[in-house]
Amino acid sequence: MNRFLFNLEEVLYSLFIINLSMPKITEQGVTLNIASIKKDPHKKMPIFYNPVMKSNRNISILLLNSISNTKMHVALPLTGSGIRALRFLRELKKGKIDTIFVNDKKADFVNTFTQALTTNNLKKTNSVKICNDDANHFLLNQHTDDFCGYFDYIDIDPFGTPNPFLSASVSQVKRNGILAITATDTAALTGTYPRSTKRKYWATSLKSYMMHETGLRTLIRKVQLQGIQFDKALTPILSYHKDHYFRIYFKQESGKERCDEIIKQHKYMLYCPSCLNHTTSHFNKETCSCGTQFLFIGPLWIGKLFDTKLITTMAKNNPFPEEQKFLDVLKEESKKDIVGFYDLHVIEKKYKFPIGKMDSVLKKLKAVRTHFSLTGIKTNINIKEIIRLLK
């Protein structure tokens, strides 16, 4: 009996080892021999694959294929499983990448990524630099005789806040380069933990129906402030909220004058809980026309979230069917790239009358949908006029 149990344990162990060695993940033709996470990720986990971020990777590939930049030096300081890097090597147009620098401080990263290159029939050439270092140290120490140390594209995709990596990444992005930032600590940006917002993002948050837009704009300002100290103006060319994260692509332009223009677009957003009016101001204490004192959010970025030409190109040339609906909404939203929106369900509840069908509302109010809410609209018409037209 004991002998049987011992043999059974050996068989089960062998099956376990075989299972670990078999390919676990396939994404867009790229295969990984690592496990997919089945719970929320955290820093102490070994290298893993996060399926929720596939859309994030899809859009990054589409964006890079939609801009004119070529022969780029690409840096992925937090490479993780390596899936984004592998897909870049396979799916970016020929001539887009000169060198791709992949880095992660996990102990087994070099072996894992090297094996992944072999598994996917991608050769380890001089165009692929594999590093095993702290992300900030990696970004600041790539100066060699053959490379200036500055990157055309840096992608920061961390657990939680991107704050620890902002200064180094901003300092190392080239003129006209792209800095891509992901933040998954949405609770700290959307009003759930207002003290965290002040500590991490130097702003006041408010939990309201617009919290995802105000959270995104708060994050944009924080990143821009990091750039301004280096006389680098970071302008969003694509910004959005999706699933559990915020994502922003900045274009870097150098110059004190351009930085001054960025600062002029850092204001407060004012929101009236009584009539649903909202506006922007340099001041955080004002009274609404209905007589109620405004609540305030910010300071935050009040400029554009999208480059309309870029998002139009992306929506037109998109090779990922699952992203098309989302891209089409962003394209329409970019036509009214203004601060704040109105939620039809919130208006119905507040003013107690039926709104009607979305298409009819959009036509009446000369409005567009917003990706921040399924029932949200963006329009230049104020709340008083909205109520008059809808009633």
Instruction: With CA atoms as reference, report the closest residue to 28 among 327, 323, 314, 310.
Output: 323
Q: State mean pLDDT over 257-276.
A: 98
Q: Per-residue confidence at 46, pLDDT binned at 50, 70, 90?
A: low
Mean pLDDT of the chain: 92
DSSP 3-state assignment of 100? Answer: strand
Q: State mean pLDDT over 55-77.
A: 98
Q: State mean pLDDT over 304-315.
A: 98
pLDDT over 50 (residue 14): no
Cα dihedral 34→80→71→119 (10° resolution): -10
pLDDT of residue 50: 87
Q: State mean pLDDT over 229-245.
A: 97
Q: In whole angstroms, give the CA distance from residue 275 to residue 210.
A: 15
Q: State mean pLDDT over 260-280.
A: 98
pLDDT over 50 (residue 3): no
pLDDT of residue 178: 98
* Domain boundaries of the chain, sorted by first residue: 25-267+296-303, 309-390
In the numeric block, the tokens 């997919």 are attached to 36
DSSP 3-state assignment of 122? Answer: coil
Global pTM value: 0.92
Q: Per-residue confidence at 45, pLDDT binned at 50, 70, 90?
A: low
Q: State mean pLDDT over 368-373.
A: 98
Q: Tokens for 107?
A: 């102990």
Instruction: Tell whether domain 309-390 is in CATH 3.30.56.70.
Output: yes
CATH of 25-267+296-303, one of 3.40.50.150, 2.120.10.70, 1.20.58.60, 3.30.1340.10: 3.40.50.150
How do strand 368-370 and strand 25-27 relate by DSSP bridges? unpaired
In this structure, is the dihedral angle defined by the CA atoms of residues 351, 357, 360 and 365, taken in order, positive or negative? positive
Q: State mean pLDDT over 352-373.
A: 96
Burial class, 10, CB count within 10 angstroms (exposed 0-12 / middle 13-18 / buried 19+): exposed
pLDDT over 50 (residue 363): yes
Q: List, in sequence order, every beta strand (DSSP E) within the chain.
A: 25-27, 30-32, 72-76, 97-103, 128-131, 151-156, 173-183, 232-242, 245-254, 266-271, 278-281, 295-301, 342-343, 368-370, 373-378
Q: State mean pLDDT over 235-263.
A: 97
In the chain, the N- to C-terminal Cα span, in Å, equals 81
More confident residue, 11 or 377: 377
pLDDT over 70 (residue 5): no
Q: Per-residue confidence at 39, pLDDT binned at 50, 70, 90?
A: low
pLDDT of residue 357: 95
pLDDT of residue 37: 57
Distances (CA, A) of 30 to 86, 100, 176, 186: 7, 17, 30, 29
pLDDT over 50 (residue 9): no
Max Cα–Cα distance, the chain, nearest Å: 85
Q: State mean pLDDT over 81-101.
A: 97
Tens-place pLDDT, residues 107-125? 999 999 999 999 999 987 8
In this structure, is the dihedral angle defined by the CA atoms of residues 17, 105, 117 and 48, taken in order, positive or negative? positive
